[in-house]
């Protein structure tokens, strides 16, 4: 009995600590599991060759009733003749008594560089606006005299943030150049605007994101893509993830990712012909994440589902 109670309170304590990190993550950002959503942390990674409409839903821990949940809808539209792309993402998060809704807009412009003008350097800028809501009824002890609770508004508009990013990509894989290099970096919170909003009191810290990867064309239809993803926040430990994705371009992909924070993720993606004349595809993916921590058995695995529509943009 004592051991069961000790385990129970231990789980509650760790969940509270992790929930605090998740609420902070609602303000900060992390690398998405879906590659076509990478533009949310680095706007220069907006799609350059296909219009993408995508919806995702994520539940962090299946064994926890009040597990953090996230859903978003995004649209990316490239204009290849103008060498630019536009993107918008609507997102919603729920972590215990805290929930947030937000919108992010992104713009990217590409330059052809290199001796043969086949490499591409892309610059991107994005702006993000969020609203956090707090349900006081979810608090176990709602002491109105507590100064911490009394200063929390039920609805708080988080000041808009501005992020910038850069990405360099060599020639896409082909018979003459079977290996493509991908490298980039981005920073958010480059224009802090907190002083313009009197009701905002949560910390917002600048974040640095970096990625380095290869896209290896093993055949005309098969590609292998190893990547290193890094994110660093002020006053916190740097996190990284190692990712490997194998893609059969006409059928789908398999991906495995391990992060320093203790998550191992596998992802299966399937392509369906949308019946268009320009190679339009429906894309469905399912991602399963396992947490290798002290209470991994109590938390359970995480599940992310994604459904999207891809339409290639021709020159």
pLDDT, tens digit (0-9, with 9 covering 90-100), for 177-226: 899 999 999 998 776 554 454 444 444 567 899 999 999 999 888 999 99
51-103: pLDDT as tens digits: 999 999 987 766 566 667 889 999 999 987 778 999 999 998 887 677 788 89
- Report the domain count for the chain: 1
Q: What is the mean pLDDT of residues 303-312?
A: 92
pLDDT at residue 67, rounded to an integer: 66
CA 57/CA 32 separation, integer angstroms: 12
> Is a pLDDT exceeding 90 seen at residue 107?
yes
- Which structural domain range is residue 249 located in? 2-312
Q: What is the mean pLDDT of residues 163-175?
A: 91
DSSP per residue over 46-61, as a string? S-SSEEEEEEEEEES-
Average pLDDT across the chain, whole number: 79
State the pairing for strand pair 155-169/179-187: antiparallel
Cα angle: 74, vertex 80, 83; to 5 degrees: 95
pLDDT at residue 315, rounded to an integer: 63
Partners of 161 in the β-ladder: 128
Burial class of 46 by CB neighbour count within 10 A (0 to 12, 13 to 18, 19+): buried
Task: Indicate yes or no: pTM above 0.85.
Answer: no
Higher pLDDT, 32 or 279: 32
Structure tokens at 38: 């990478």
Residues 6+ apart with CB under 8 A from 243: 213, 225, 226, 227, 228, 229, 255, 256, 257
Q: What is the mean pLDDT of residues 112-126?
A: 89
**What whole-number percentage of the chain has pLDDT above 90?**
41
Higher pLDDT, 99 or 43: 43
Higher pLDDT, 310 or 20: 310
- CATH code assigned at 6: 2.40.160.40
Tell which residue, 217, 275, 281, 209, has the closest CA to residue 248: 217
């Amino acid at each position: 009995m004592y051991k069961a109670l000790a385990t129970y309170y231990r789980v509650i304590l760790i969940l509270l600590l992790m929930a605090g990190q998740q609420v902070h993550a609602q303000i900060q950002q992390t690398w998405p599991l879906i590659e076509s959503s990478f533009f949310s942390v680095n706007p220069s990674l907006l799609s350059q060759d296909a219009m993408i409409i995508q919806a995702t839903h994520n539940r962090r821990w299946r064994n926890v009733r009040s597990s953090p949940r996230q859903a978003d809808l995004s649209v990316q539209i490239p204009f290849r003749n103008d060498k630019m792309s536009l993107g918008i993402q609507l997102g919603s998060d729920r972590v215990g008594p805290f929930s947030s809704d937000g919108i992010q807009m992104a713009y990217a412009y590409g330059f052809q560089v290199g001796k043969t003008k086949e490499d591409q350097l892309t610059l991107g800028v994005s702006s993000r606006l969020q609203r956090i809501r707090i349900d006081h009824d979810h608090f176990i002890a709602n002491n109105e005299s507590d100064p911490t609770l009394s200063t929390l508004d039920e609805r708080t508009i988080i000041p808009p943030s501005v992020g910038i990013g850069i990405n360099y990509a060599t020639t896409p894989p082909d018979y003459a150049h079977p290996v493509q290099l991908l490298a980039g970096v981005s920073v958010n919170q480059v224009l802090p605007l907190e002083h313009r909003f009197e009701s905002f009191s949560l910390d917002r810290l600048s974040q640095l994101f970096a990625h380095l990867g290869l896209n290896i064309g093993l055949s005309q239809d098969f590609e292998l893509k190893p990547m290193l993803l890094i994110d660093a926040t002020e006053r916190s430990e740097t996190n990284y993830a190692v990712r490997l994705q194998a893609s059969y371009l006409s059928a789908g992909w398999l991906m495995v990712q391990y992060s320093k924070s203790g998550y191992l993720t596998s992802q299966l993606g399937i392509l369906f012909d949308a019946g268009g004349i320009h190679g339009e595809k429906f894309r469905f993916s399912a991602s399963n994440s396992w947490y290798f921590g002290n209470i991994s058995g109590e938390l359970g695995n995480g599940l992310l589902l994604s459904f999207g529509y891809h339409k290639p943009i021709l020159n």
